[in-house]
Chain A
Amino acid sequence: MGFDAEPDLGAPPVRGEAPMVIATIDGRPVTVPAGTSVMRAAALAGGSIPKLCATDSLQPFGSCRLCLVEIEGRAGYPASCTTPVADGMVVHTQTERLKTLRKGVMELYISDHPLDCLTCAANGDCELQDMAGAVGLREVRYGEGASHGALPCDDSNPYFDFDPSKCIVCSRCVRACDEVQGTFALTIGGRGFGSKVMASQDQDFLSSECVSCGACVQACPTATLTEKSVIEIGTPERAVVTTCAYCGVGCTFRAEMRGEELVRMVPWKEGKANHGHSCVKGRFAWGYANHAERILEPMIRASTADPWRVVSWDEAIAHTAAEFRRIQARYGAAAVGGITSSRCTNEETFLVQKLIRQGFGVNNVDTCARVCHSPTGYGLKTTFGTSAGTQDFDSVEAADVIVVIGANPTDGHPVFASRMKRRLRQGAKLIVIDPRRIDLVRSPHVEAAHHLPLRPGTNVAVLTAMAHVIVTEGLANEAYVRERCDWDEFQDWAAFVAEPSRSPEATEPLTGVPAQTLRAAARLYATGGNAAIYYGLGVTEHSQGSSTVMAIANLAMATGNIGREGVGVNPLRGQNNVQGACDMGSFPHEFSGYRHVSDDAVRGQFEAAWGATLSAEPGLRIPNMLDAAVDGIFKALFIQGEDILQSDPNTHHVAEGLAAMECVVVHDLFLNETASYAHVFLPGSTFLEKDGTFTNAERRIQRVRKVMSPRNGFADWEIVQLLANALGLDWRYEHPSQVMDEIARLTPTFAGVSYAGLDAHGSLQWPANAAAPEGTPVMHVDHFVRGKGRFVVTDYVPTDEKTGPRFPLLLTTGRILSQYNVGAQTRRTDNVVWHPEDLLEIHPHDAEQRGVRDGGWVSLKSRAGETTLRATVTDRVAPGVVYTTFHHPQTQANVVTTDYSDWATNCPEYKVTAVQVSPSNGPSDWQTAYRQLTEASRRVEAEIPGAAE
């Protein structure tokens, strides 16, 4: 794929159905939907009207006066961007008068623009330069005078510069911030000649409200807003479309390259998940791929007390295979297992679980979804019949009521949050159910109709109280339930939720949610039109995570909000390929496509394909593996792209389990925290260095394309194949497409998926098979996958993690916009300027009681452990609740979290930990000991010159 700038039709398409109209533009007939602008119609007809303030990602603005046209029968020279095509309209885009007018406009623009094109970073990629050429501007008659040429450049943002001397005040950046991102951080200040783009209250970009999504940079037609990487490297010479490796939104980007050097990532307008938008992580935070701490050679050591020894790939693979075989021979087959990565591709996770099942002969394989969305899999499979969300992201545009439960989309899923905010600005109503006052509760032009600030751990009680209101006030959609669901189960459920003890009034003392607020929210959800629920880890990471997912499903079925656009139950997946890792058979009890290992017919298909006898018994989950290790019977673990020491709960217990093993293999980009307990380190490849697919939160399978050679020598799928063959398997994959072909042969929901099909369609949402060759944007349209929708009685069971005199506060954890999960990637980028450390949010009342001051160091202590970090005093959290992130190993928030987990899936209860907070003068004992451990553990044996001879 060579480098071509994406086509820009100048104005967005008409939304929805519209009658077609026919016009003649420059003698060419063109048929377009009514409402289409003349500019877009001209572009569709193959023409190109000069423009500066118009672009097809933004609504027409009509300010630059360059896109003027003549229309027969109409006076004047209307702007083509703001003029809709009418049937029979005859348009001329190039006349003598228009040429004169445009040249005059351009002359005025250029009279106040630096003439440094040859040394400008945008040389060759500048619309102003292009337009000067397009209108034939050959001279500027205006002499010396007032100009903006001396305005200083704002280089405060780590990723882009703002040079106002090159600004033409077209407002594209301001409109992009408003319309696309929805942050409203930019404005045009001043009047007339004094007009200028301002960030927040005329601040520099870094200290402003700007969230660095890059929409303004992308929209800028000049070099005013330019990526620092372009300034440093130059303009790209080719582009490859690939998929972001950060969150579960799955944005597609054009990786714009010069040779094998990545110049910039630009969100792809054709991307069906992101439609040309991005966030600070995907757009800019890819520098970790070249970070100095990246490990590029394999290393082994006999003991974790030893320094690492760099070895060849052959030695590392042979050593690993020998260790796993030795351990299985000594301790039994079940003494080993593996963990697949939600950061790796579908093909790679499929191969890792195949390695464990076929190569090791056990089902001891699990994935990081264990600690995030495993309750989603359980809950939605139980109620609907499949372990996935019901909608595509586009569906939000048809939602009338949006419910956000236990999710913080503006930080965790920012690109989807922007689309959600756009729908809210159009008038959809918002209900937020969250202990914190997240940004969505009130931000520019968005305000929740209802915020239910529930006490952590009471999700089921709140959702059951909402169900109580819906049932007792007669708001259930009986016709839908009778047709689509099991009526008897509905009646049992309805009787259960209707009991007075489950009313909002009865449960208010334990949930903390005012009964009238809850009643109003329930009524709005049930009667407000299309109602869609979006949820995150604030739902799943509880001792009743699975119950909460089923309670959500109950609400959606009871109100008929499943099976069409604008409604649904939508888990916002945390990592880029959580959905895919689950789909690929990463759980210890099921093969790809969510089929239990005890199903003889299914297992027989895999046995025939793989030529091996496979176990019919479920294997160990991650916490079970760690328990078994502490118990002395689990001895070896292969971990791909996951840092369980930092991400999993109760760090002490994780460390104890890892330390009890004889061979821990970490396959990753960096010596992560888990690697402190590893015996083998296999360097991994980044998403830029390999081919494959990711599946996002809307079940959309998208291509990951290699844009540069793997710096470590191999793509991750190749490394797993090396290990498989060292174990005696005979794998002969030459390309990940062959792995996908195998997945398709063995997985009914993927039967119609191939690389050729993905290239043809751009992406596919599973199920993609003979019944749905184009994929499935919305599930359960005519019937549920399981047949009748199943109502499940979800009784509220309080967590066993109790507050008391020693630990009176409740800690809940989450993530922030600029950082990603354990921070392995984002901490190694300039994103640290926004979030250099984890902070503890504490309510002013609780802070005052404890003598905690804003910015001061505090001890955060639970029954599991203790850490220290700095405090932020804020009323975003309710009294009695504290909040922190888990991005930094120096803090290790999971030292504090406990072993309590979801009853059905063992998903940890990260969101409820009883803690005490007190002022502190120094690091905790754990932090001191841990720092010493990691320093010792990361030693690498010095190479002795000439030793090889």
Chain B
Amino acid sequence: MMSPAERLIYMANQIARNFEAQGPATAAQATADHIALFWDPRMRAHILEILAAGGDGLSPLAAEAVRLLHARQGAARAG
């Protein structure tokens, strides 16, 4: 049984892997979009915490997507 953190990391990696064929830049954006559209705020906050804690377990593409998500949320707050 996965822990809540392991579950989110698995989901993010799985999404990223399925977008991977679209190329790294597009795939990272698409993964970030997907998480923004379909994950509830608590899940998004948790995956950002995981990234902030080093992002262990996140694939490079998933980590990049979460970084994009973080940047967008920062921009939204600033805006």
Do A628 and B42 contact each other (CB < 8 Å), given the known contacts A795-B21, A904-B18?
yes
- B17–A618 CB distance below 8 A: no
Kindly identify which residue among A496, A589, A624, A906 contacts B37, using a CB–CB cutoff of 8 Å: A589
- B17–A797 CB distance below 8 A: yes
Cα(A589)–Cα(B22), bound, Å: 25
* Contact digits for B26-38, partner A, Cβ 8 Å, 1 yes 0 no: 0000000010011
Taking CB atoms, residues of chain A closer than 8 Å to B59 are none
Taking CB atoms, residues of chain A closer than 8 Å to B1 are 653, 899
- B43–A624 CB distance below 8 A: yes
Taking CB atoms, residues of chain A closer than 8 Å to B54 are none
Cβ of A154 under 8 Å from chain B? no
* Minimum distance in angstroms from A626 CB to a CB of chain B: 11
- A793–B21 CB distance below 8 A: yes
Cβ of A617 under 8 Å from chain B? yes
- A627–B4 CB distance below 8 A: yes
Kindly identify which residue among A496, A624, A630 contacts B21, using a CB–CB cutoff of 8 Å: A496
- A795–B43 CB distance below 8 A: no
- B18–A797 CB distance below 8 A: yes
Cβ of B72 under 8 Å from chain A? no
Cα(A547)–Cα(B22), bound, Å: 13
- A544–B18 CB distance below 8 A: yes
Taking CB atoms, residues of chain B closer than 8 Å to A620 are 40, 43
Q: Which residue of B lies closest to A632 (CB)?
A: B4
Cβ of A752 under 8 Å from chain B? no
Taking CB atoms, residues of chain A closer than 8 Å to B53 are none
Taking CB atoms, residues of chain B closer than 8 Å to A619 are 40
Cα(A547)–Cα(B34), bound, Å: 14
Cα(A903)–Cα(B20), bound, Å: 13
Do A793 and B41 contact each other (CB < 8 Å), given the known contacts A631-B4, A903-B17?
no
Do A617 and B14 contact each other (CB < 8 Å), given the known contacts A496-B21, A795-B20?
no
Cβ of A633 under 8 Å from chain B? yes
- A618–B18 CB distance below 8 A: no
Do A903 and B15 contact each other (CB < 8 Å), given the known contacts A631-B4, A653-B1, A793-B22?
yes
Cβ of A520 under 8 Å from chain B? no
Cβ of A282 under 8 Å from chain B? no
User: Which B1-24 residues have a C-beta within 8 angstroms of A?
Assistant: 1-2, 4, 7, 11, 14-15, 17-18, 20-22
- B4–A904 CB distance below 8 A: no
User: Which A776-813 residues have a C-beta within 8 angstroms of B?
Assistant: 793-795, 797
Taking CB atoms, residues of chain A closer than 8 Å to B40 are 334, 363-364, 588, 617-620, 624
- B42–A618 CB distance below 8 A: no
* Contact digits for B61-79, partner A, Cβ 8 Å, 1 yes 0 no: 0000000000000000000
Count of chain A residues with a beta carbon within 8 Å of a chain B beta carbon: 32
Taking CB atoms, residues of chain A closer than 8 Å to B42 are 334, 628, 633
Q: Which residue of B lies closest to A899 (CB)?
A: B2
Cβ of A938 under 8 Å from chain B? no
Cα(A157)–Cα(B13), bound, Å: 54
Cβ of A596 under 8 Å from chain B? yes
Taking CB atoms, residues of chain B closer than 8 Å to A547 are 18
Cα(A905)–Cα(B18), bound, Å: 12
Taking CB atoms, residues of chain A closer than 8 Å to B14 are 543, 903
Cα(A628)–Cα(B34), bound, Å: 20
* Minimum distance in angstroms from B59 CB to a CB of chain A: 12
Cα(A620)–Cα(B38), bound, Å: 9
Cα(A588)–Cα(B42), bound, Å: 14
Taking CB atoms, residues of chain B closer than 8 Å to A617 are 40-41
- A627–B15 CB distance below 8 A: no
Q: Which residue of A lies closest to B15 (CB)?
A: A903
* Minimum distance in angstroms from A602 CB to a CB of chain B: 14
Taking CB atoms, residues of chain A closer than 8 Å to B38 are 589, 618, 621, 904-905
Cα(A543)–Cα(B37), bound, Å: 19
* B7, B17, B34 interface centre (most CB from chain A within 10 Å): B7
Taking CB atoms, residues of chain A closer than 8 Å to B4 are 627-628, 630-631
* Minimum distance in angstroms from B78 CB to a CB of chain A: 18
Q: Which residue of A lies closest to B41 (CB)?
A: A617
Cα(A904)–Cα(B18), bound, Å: 9
User: Which A635-679 residues have a C-beta within 8 angstroms of B?
Assistant: 653
Cα(A175)–Cα(B42), bound, Å: 61
Taking CB atoms, residues of chain B closer than 8 Å to A598 are 37
* Minimum distance in angstroms from A624 CB to a CB of chain B: 7
Cα(A621)–Cα(B21), bound, Å: 27
Taking CB atoms, residues of chain A closer than 8 Å to B7 are 627
Q: Which residue of B lies closest to A630 (CB)?
A: B4
* Minimum distance in angstroms from A217 CB to a CB of chain B: 48
Do A618 and B37 contact each other (CB < 8 Å), given the known contacts A624-B43, A653-B1?
yes
Cα(A906)–Cα(B4), bound, Å: 15
Cα(A631)–Cα(B42), bound, Å: 12
Cα(A167)–Cα(B4), bound, Å: 67
* Contact digits for B44-70, partner A, Cβ 8 Å, 1 yes 0 no: 000000000000000000000000000
Cα(A621)–Cα(B15), bound, Å: 16
Cα(A543)–Cα(B17), bound, Å: 12
Cα(A793)–Cα(B20), bound, Å: 10
Cα(A617)–Cα(B15), bound, Å: 20
Cα(A12)–Cα(B77), bound, Å: 67
Cα(A942)–Cα(B33), bound, Å: 55
Cα(A653)–Cα(B4), bound, Å: 13
Cα(A621)–Cα(B7), bound, Å: 14
Cα(A627)–Cα(B42), bound, Å: 12
Taking CB atoms, residues of chain B closer than 8 Å to A797 are 17-18
Do A618 and B15 contact each other (CB < 8 Å), given the known contacts A496-B21, A793-B21, A793-B22?
no
Cα(A363)–Cα(B14), bound, Å: 24
Taking CB atoms, residues of chain B closer than 8 Å to A794 are 21
Q: Which residue of A lies closest to B21 (CB)?
A: A795
Cα(A364)–Cα(B43), bound, Å: 13
Taking CB atoms, residues of chain B closer than 8 Å to A596 are 37
Kindly identify which residue among B21, B22, B39 contacts A618, using a CB–CB cutoff of 8 Å: B39
* Minimum distance in angstroms from B23 CB to a CB of chain A: 9
Q: Which residue of B lies closest to A656 (CB)?
A: B1
Taking CB atoms, residues of chain A closer than 8 Å to B34 are 904
User: Which A571-620 residues have a C-beta within 8 angstroms of B?
Assistant: 588-589, 596, 598, 617-620
25 A-B pairs in the complex with CB atoms less than 8 angstroms apart: A334-B42, A363-B40, A364-B40, A544-B18, A547-B18, A588-B40, A589-B38, A596-B37, A617-B41, A618-B39, A618-B40, A620-B40, A620-B43, A624-B40, A633-B42, A653-B1, A793-B21, A794-B21, A797-B17, A797-B18, A899-B1, A903-B17, A903-B18, A904-B38, A906-B11
Given contact pairs A627-B4, A631-B4, A904-B38, a sample of 18 additional A-B residue pairs in the complex whose CB atoms are under 8 Å apart: A334-B40, A363-B40, A618-B38, A621-B38, A624-B40, A624-B43, A628-B4, A628-B42, A630-B4, A633-B42, A653-B1, A795-B20, A797-B18, A899-B1, A903-B18, A904-B15, A904-B34, A905-B38
In the A-B complex, list the 4 residue pairs whose CB atoms are closest, starting with the nearest: A795-B21, A903-B14, A903-B18, A793-B21
B residues adjacent to A (C-beta < 8 A): 1-2, 4, 7, 11, 14-15, 17-18, 20-22, 34, 37-43
